[in-house]
Structure 1
């Protein structure tokens, strides 16, 4: 949504988990979690694994909803 300019991201940078994992039994009660796919943006040709999504407007998570509402009200008044 951010890369296609369809949304303004408000809040904190995400943790960067873009490679879903699958659980595989490796025997003797052990499991391995192994990535089985990648999420690649068709716009940027990259993913957000390890870097996260950096918001357009950075605010603490507990203030993100209020800030988003402020941005919407400001945009509507223009």
Structure 2
């Protein structure tokens, strides 16, 4: 299905994503991914951003694992 980069603090999502057929990689390998899942803990306070990828970014803050998976699936369907 999709290649998804997941932030290290969200390692609990790795198994759920793999069980759904997705390839999961670390954020260090985000280049070329279809989607990135971030925790939101490192919010950009300075308003400066350096894009590493053109992939969809899903902020997992306050979401359940199921909600994150749903957002990933929606993102892939809209590509």
- TM-score, length-scaled by structure 2: 0.28
More helix, by proportion: 2
Q: Which has the higher contact order (CA 8 A, sep 6+)?
A: 1
Structure whose CA Rg is larger: 1
TM norm structure 1: 0.28
